[in-house]
Every structure is written in C-alpha cells, then in structure tokens.
Amino acid sequence: MSAPIIWILLPFVSGALILLLLGEKYAAYIGGGIAAFLAMIALFVPIDTALLIGSVSIKIAPAIQVFGRSFELVTADGPLLAVLYGLAALWLFGTEASGTAHRFVSLGLMIVALLTASIAVEPFLYAALLLEIAAMLVVPLLVPLYQKPGKGVVRFIIYQTFAMPFILFSGWMLAGVEASPGNLSTTIQSGVMLSMGFAFLFGVFPLYNWIPQLMEEASPYAAGFLLWALPTFTVIFSLGFLDRYTWLRNTSQIANAIFYSGVIMTATSGIFGALQRHLGRILGYAAIAETGLLLTAIALKTPDMVSIVFLTLIPRGLELSVWALALSIIKRRAYPLRFSDIQGMARKYPIAVGAIFFAHLSIAGFPLLAGFPSRLALWQELSLQSLSASLWVFIGLLGLLISALRTLAAFVMAKEDTKWEMNESPIQTVMLGIGMAGLLVLGMFPQSLQPIISNLPALFQHLNQ
Amino acid sequence: MLAEIISWVAVALALTASTAIMVSRDWRISLGALALQYLAAFWLVTRHLPFAMGSVKLIAGWMVVAILGMTRINLANLEQEESEAFYPRGAAFRVILMGVVAFAAAGAAPAIEAAIPGLGLPVIAGGLILIGAGMAHLGVTSDLLRVTLGLLTVISGFEILYAAVESAILVTGLLAAVNLGLSVLGAYLLTAGSVPFVSGEEEL
C-alpha cells in the first residue's frame, strides 16, 4: 500500500460512496471516523519505514505514478497529514450537530483528499489545478439546490479560477529564472505572476470582498469549512514555493509584498469587522484577519517562521469549526443573523453563544485562549522587524476584539424577565463543550502542540536556515 | 505555410466566436460560438501538442457545450428574466470592447514572441484574444451562464498558451477536468433555486 492511496484515494472514494450509499444518520460518524483513522495512521505509522508487527512487516510506500507524474508523501509529511485529517475529522463530526451531515461529509472528504493531493503532486506546481478542482467541489456545499446562488459564490469561483493560470504560468517562468538568474525582466514578470496568483488564492485586500458576501448567503458551517480548508492548504503550497526557489526567499521586494499584504489584510479586516452588524460577516472578517496574520508570519525573517505559521494554522481549524458550528445552531432561530435578530439569544442558547465568544476572542488573540501563543510569538518577531506594522496588526486585532464585545452586547440584550433556557441538543452541547475546552487547553498549555509542531519544519528544509 | 495560414484562420475564428458570445443575447448562439471557439483552440493547441492530446481538449470542450446546452434548454423560464435584467449596455459597446481586446492582443503578441521565442505569433494572438475576451465578458455580466462562458473562454485562452510550454498528460487531463467541472458547476448554479425546499420533517 502506498501513502497517496491511503491519504488521497481512500478518502476520495469513501466520500463518493458515502454520497451514494449512506443516509443522513450515519454519514457524520463514518466520515468523521475515516478522517480520524487516517489522522491516527499518519501519527503512528511512519511513511517509507518498515514496521515489524509480530512476524509481519508493514511498509507504506511513499509514491505512486499517475500519467508519468508522481504523487509523493514522504516521512516528514506524517505529522502534517495527522494535523490536517485530525482537523478534518473535527469538522466532519461537527456536521451531525450542525444538521448538514450527508452532502457535507461526502464532499468534505473528497475536498480534503484533493487538497492532500495538492501537497503530494510532483511537480508541485500542478497543485494549482487540484486547488481549483477542490474549490469547485466546495460550491455545492455553499449553495443548496433550493437556494439561488448569490454574488459571493460567483466571485469566489471567478477568483479561484483566475489564480490557477497565474500560478501555472509563473511556475514555468520560475524555472527560467532559476536557469538564468541574471535575467531581471523574467524575474520581475514571474514575481508579478506569482503574486497575482496567490493574491487571488488568499483573497488579499481588496480581493477578499467575496468572503463577507458569502458568509451572508451561505450556511455558516459550510462557508467556515471553506475558510479553513483552502487557506490552510494554500499556506502549505506557498511555503513550498518559498522553500523551493531560493531567489524568492532572498528578494526583498517579494518578502515586503507578502509582509505588507498580510498587515493590510489584518488591519482592514479588523476595522471592517468592528463595523459589521451581521454575525456571518464578522466571522468572515475574522477569518480574513487570520489569513493576514499567516501572510505576515510567512514573511518574517526568522528561522522560527515555519513553527509560527503552524502554531497559527492549527488552532485556526479549531476556532473556525467551533465558531461556525455555534453560528449554524443559532441561525436556525435567528435568521439572517443580524444584531437585531440575535438580541437575547444568550438566554436561549448559552452554550452556543459562549462558544462564539470564546472562538472570537481566541482569533483576536485574547490571553489563555488557543490563538494567544501564536500571536505572542508573532508580536515578538514582528516588533523586531517593524514597529509600524506591529501597530497596524494591533489595530486589526483590536477591531476584532471590539466586534466580539459588540456581538456579546447584542446577545445579552434580553428583557429582564426572560428565563434562561438551554435549547442546544445534547450532541451540540458536547461538540461545543469539547471545542471550548480545546481552545482553553491550547491556550493554557501550548506545549501540548510541541510534539507535532517540532517535526513540521522538516517539510521545508531551506526555510529553517 | 498552409498550417500557418490555417492557424491565422483559427485566430480569426476565435475572435469572431468570442465576439459572438459577448454580443449575442441568445444562449443558443452563444453556445454554438463556444463550440466553434473550442475548434479554433484545438487547432492552435495542436501546433505544440500531439493531435491526440489536442483532441482531448476539443472533446472536453464540446462536452462542456453539451452540458450547458442541456441544462439551459430545460430552464425556459429564465428567458424573460434575462431579456429584462441582463446586458444593460448596447451591442456597439461590446463590439468596441472586443476591438480593444483584439488591438491589445495584436500589440502584445510580438513582444511576447520576442520574450518567449518558439511559441508562434498565431498561438500567442489566439491565446491572448481568448483571455482578453473572457475577462471583458466577466466584467460586463453577472448572469450565471455568461459568467461560466467567460471563465471557460479565459481558460481556453490560457490552455492555448500553456500547451506551448507544458505537454504533460496529467496537466492535459486535469485541465479537461477543470473545464468539465466549470460547466457542471455552471449547470448546477443555473439549476439552483429552481428546486423547492423540502425539510426533513416534510420528507418523513
């Protein structure tokens, strides 16, 4: 058995089978179980290393050939696969509580499989095509058949489609730059092409305008999954570029472009987020701010850059899943999630409201929550690099904090005689409770991530130098 | 020499087809023009790719047309909406827009040929015309079918140029999957909203 078959083909086929064969009832458990099982294998069974169990020797081969090109997952990919499939399992188990199980689980598994293929494919530039196919698979999750598609989803697919040609073409040009590094015009052209491609993929300012629109139109859980999955794999893809091409790392213009894109994204989304009156849009702006932080972290000139990126990336999955799940629970009673619709909800859905508040504070970098350790590490390096950029990032995070307080104020705005109720189902309560506990544990004991994070920099050997 | 002449005919066909897609309000004409556009793209792609790989793009393209056509033919109620809400600008504006695209492509093609020798002027011009036409189309429409046509036009322009620099079978296959995926997505989004909502309780 080879690694790409286990972590790409198996979840993809499972997703298709769940769509065709299984009903709503078991889909979440089986899909979540498969993802959790794959995470466990990635964690405990090393790739390309013989394991002796009794008299049986097991070895997972690292690569397979498809049409003359290879899909390869090496030993160093193990911890990354464990993290990605672990977080995917969290999202898939959550579908049961959010009430979106059947289609979400099957498409979710297929999307994660395709995104994993984007990490594995060689030459790695072809990942742009796989990211595009994965983005197309997300659309049925965002637009159910009974709902007219809005502008947000159309813009999303246009921007993702535009990214693909830019990245593929820039990849071809980058090879030319490597062959003749002195050719300045080719270097500039390929740099611009690459920047455009990633600007579309990440949704750099002002190309993120589809995210708040989409959060207003679509199911919060499906849109939250999209905001977790695509940027996560795009970050890994972009780290691959920086790792592979030395001149990209050493060109100060490109490093500055990434750095200031991240700072501007964080600052603008924080400020816009503070002015919103729709809970979905607030979640959208918070996700944009966090993507901005990831870009800022990628541009840091420190050997710890990869560790800081993954320290931000891992809690992001938990924060977004908890927030999106809680929103989807509240949306059933407070459609369309404007402040005027959610007044007093804290007394009807205390757990869901608490979960939203916890996740929101965590993304804003509030102490003792999961987002805090990564923000602390980021601040430390950022302050050495640029104090003005630190100030703008601070303004962005302050904006998120203000929007958290405004949201809380709207939630608790109930009449005095309103009784406290708990309308969440037991499964919803358990899922949200586990999520909130996770946010606290990762905040108070960040060293619990250390065994995983310490191995991840091995994936990008040149970036640690 | 003959191949060169046919290549320029293909470029002219690509320009005419993309202009027809841009200007026409009738979806039947637009899809017919898209089919012709794929024929032109096929010829330009085979300047650098083997015939068999080029024909994959042609077949995938015609499948795209079939998918969109079959979906659109079942959505007769959209006709009225489209004629009222779609295309606030006149046909003359769109023809001028295509003229700008054609001039821009004609201006840029020799520069690109100088920078990347060996691509061939017709291939560059054809690719740039389709990319520009698709972008222009996306800029003037919000109709779902038109957006899909715009994206497919951009992708086919890109495919013409990319075929000259990359000939991997996997890429050809994945690009065909992207084309088919975009058409299925367009068909899905066109259909979305026409199916009544049935809650779980009603189903029971």
* Per-residue pLDDT, A252: 85
Nearest chain A CA: its distance from B193 CA (Å):
4
* Per-residue pLDDT, A45: 87
Nearest chain B CA: its distance from A92 CA (Å):
20
Q: B-chain residues within 8 Å CB-CB of A129?
A: 171, 174-175, 177-178
3-state SS class at A149: coil
Q: Is A154 on the interface with B (CB under 8 A)?
A: yes
Categorize the per-residue pLDDT at A56 as very low, low, confident or very high, splitting at 50, 70 and 90.
Answer: confident
* Per-residue pLDDT, A210: 93
> Is ipTM over 0.85?
yes
> Do residue A145 and residue B195 have CB atoms under 8 angstroms apart?
yes
Residue pair A82/A42 in contact (Cβ under 8 Å)? The answer is: yes
Distance CA B125, CA B105 (A): 6
Range A105-123 average pLDDT: 91
* Per-residue pLDDT, B180: 95
> Above 50 in pLDDT, residue B203?
no
Which residue in chain B is spatially nearest to A189 when comparing CA positions?
A: B115
Q: Which of A103, A111, A146, A173 to mutate to test the interface with B (most CBs of B within 10 A)?
A: A146
Q: Is A131 on the interface with B (CB under 8 A)?
A: no
Distance CA B104, CA B107 (A): 5
> Above 90 in pLDDT, residue A409?
yes
Nearest chain A CA: its distance from B153 CA (Å):
12
DSSP run (H or E) holding A71:
strand A69-72
Residue pair A224/A321 in contact (Cβ under 8 Å)? The answer is: yes
> Do residue B147 and residue A158 have CB atoms under 8 angstroms apart?
yes
Distance CA A387, CA A364 (A): 19
Q: What is the mean pLDDT of chain B?
A: 86
Distance CA A339, CA A337 (A): 7
Burial A291-328 (b: 16+ CB within 10 A, else e): bbbbbbbbbbebeebbbbbbbbbbbbbbbbbbbbbbbb
Q: A-chain residues within 8 Å CB-CB of B169?
A: 67-68
Q: A-chain residues within 8 Å CB-CB of B117?
A: none
* Per-residue pLDDT, B88: 52
Smallest CA-to-CA distance from A268 within A209, A198, A194 is with: A209
* Per-residue pLDDT, B197: 63
Q: Which of A111, A114, A122, A157 to mutate to test the interface with B (most CBs of B within 10 A)?
A: A157
Q: Is A461 on the interface with B (CB under 8 A)?
A: no
Which residue in chain B is spatially nearest to A170 when comparing CA positions?
A: B162
Residue pair B35/B61 in contact (Cβ under 8 Å)? The answer is: yes
> Above 90 in pLDDT, residue B112?
no
> Above 50 in pLDDT, residue B126?
yes
Nearest chain B CA: its distance from A420 CA (Å):
28
* Per-residue pLDDT, B202: 41
Q: Is A63 on the interface with B (CB under 8 A)?
A: no
> Do residue B189 and residue A69 have CB atoms under 8 angstroms apart?
no
Please identify which residue in the block is written with the tokens 């060689």: A122
A189 or A318: which leads in pLDDT: A318
CA distances from B182 to A139, B60, B63, B155 (A): 11, 11, 11, 10
Q: Which of B81, B116, B178, B179 to mutate to test the interface with A (most CBs of A within 10 A)?
A: B178
Q: What is the mean pLDDT of chain A?
A: 89
B67 or B78: which leads in pLDDT: B67
Q: B-chain residues within 8 Å CB-CB of A172?
A: 162, 165-166
Nearest chain B CA: its distance from A15 CA (Å):
17
Give the phi and the psi of residue A58 in degrees, each rounded to 5.
-115, 135
Smallest CA-to-CA distance from A63 within A51, A71, A55 is with: A71
Q: Which of A346-350, A370-374, A414-418, B123-127 has the lowest mean pLDDT?
A: A414-418
Q: Which of B56-60, B112-116, B198-202 has the lowest mean pLDDT?
A: B198-202
* Per-residue pLDDT, A414: 84
**What's the token pair of residue A371?**
């987002």
Smallest CA-to-CA distance from A75 within A46, A39, A33, A117 is with: A46
Tens of pLDDT, residues A332-355:
888 788 988 889 899 999 999 999
Which residue in chain A is spatially nearest to B156 when comparing CA positions?
A: A165
Tens of pLDDT, residues A259-290:
999 999 999 999 999 999 999 999 999 999 99
Tens of pLDDT, residues A231-259:
999 999 999 888 888 778 788 888 899 99
Range B124-151 average pLDDT: 92
> Do residue A165 and residue B165 have CB atoms under 8 angstroms apart?
no
Nearest chain A CA: its distance from B93 CA (Å):
23
> Above 50 in pLDDT, residue A103?
yes
Contacts 24+ apart (CB under 8 A), B81-90: B82/B25, B82/B27, B82/B143, B83/B25, B86/B25, B86/B141, B86/B143, B86/B146, B87/B25, B87/B140, B87/B141, B89/B140
Tens of pLDDT, residues A2-48:
989 999 999 999 999 988 887 767 888 899 999 999 999 998 888 88
CA distances from A396 to A201, A304, A399 (A): 21, 23, 5
Please identify which residue in the block is written with the tokens 């042609």: B58
Residue pair A357/A319 in contact (Cβ under 8 Å)? The answer is: no
Give the phi and the psi of residue A60 in degrees, each rounded to 5.
-90, 115
Q: A-chain residues within 8 Å CB-CB of B198?
A: 146
> Above 70 in pLDDT, residue B84?
no
Smallest CA-to-CA distance from B55 within B63, B67, B46 is with: B46
Distance CA A440, CA A446 (A): 10
**What's the token pair of residue A104?**
């979400």
Smallest CA-to-CA distance from A92 within A1, A222, A193, A220 is with: A222
Instruction: Provide the edge-to-edge strand list for the sheet that holds A63-66.
Output: A63-66, A69-72, A121-122
Which residue in chain A is spatially nearest to B169 when comparing CA positions?
A: A67
| A 7-36 → B contacts, CB under 8 A | 24
> Above 70 in pLDDT, residue B79?
no
DSSP A99-118: T-HHHHHHHHHHHHHHHHHH
Q: A-chain residues within 8 Å CB-CB of B147?
A: 154, 158
Tens of pLDDT, residues A58-87:
888 888 988 888 898 888 888 899 999 999
Q: A-chain residues within 8 Å CB-CB of B166?
A: 168, 172
DSSP run (H or E) holding A271:
helix A252-274
Q: Which of A154, A156, A177, A188 to mutate to test the interface with B (most CBs of B within 10 A)?
A: A154
DSSP chain B: -HHHHHHHHHHHHHHHHHHHHHH---HHHHHHHHHHHHHHHHHHHTTTS-HHHHHHHHHHHHHHHHHHHHHHHT-TTHHHHHHHHS--S-HHHHHHHHHHHHHHHHHHHHHHHHHSTTS-HHHHHHHHHHHHHHHHHHHH---HHHHHHHHHHHHHHHHHHHHTT---HHHHHHHHHHHHHHHHHHHHHHHTTSSPP--HHHH-
* Per-residue pLDDT, A101: 65
Tens of pLDDT, residues A168-220:
988 888 877 777 777 777 788 888 888 999 999 999 988 999 999 999 989 89
Nearest Cβ partner for B162 among A146, A147, A168: A168
Smallest CA-to-CA distance from A149 within B80, B143, B87, B74 is with: B143
Residue pair A150/A211 in contact (Cβ under 8 Å)? The answer is: no
Smallest CA-to-CA distance from A109 within A36, A4, A47 is with: A36
Categorize the per-residue pLDDT at B204 as very low, low, confident or very high, splitting at 50, 70 and 90.
Answer: very low
A218 secondary structure, DSSP code: S
* Per-residue pLDDT, A465: 66
Q: Is A158 on the interface with B (CB under 8 A)?
A: yes
Range B11-39 average pLDDT: 92
Per-domain boundaries in chain B: 2-191
Question: In angstroms, how far apart are the furthest CA atoms of chain B?
Answer: 69
**Cβ count within 10 A of residue A33:** 15
> Do residue B193 and residue A139 have CB atoms under 8 angstroms apart?
no
> Above 90 in pLDDT, residue B143?
no
At position A182, the amino acid (one-letter code) is: G
Chain B contact residues (CB < 8 Å to A): 115, 131, 138, 142, 144, 147, 151, 154-155, 158, 161-162, 165-166, 168-171, 173-175, 177-178, 181-182, 185, 188-189, 191-193, 195-198, 200
Q: Which of A71, A145, A155, A187 to mutate to test the interface with B (most CBs of B within 10 A)?
A: A145
First to last CA, chain A: 34
* Per-residue pLDDT, A332: 85
CA distances from A227 to A368, A399, B84, B133 (A): 24, 20, 35, 31
> Above 90 in pLDDT, residue B25?
no
> Do residue A67 and residue B138 have CB atoms under 8 angstroms apart?
no
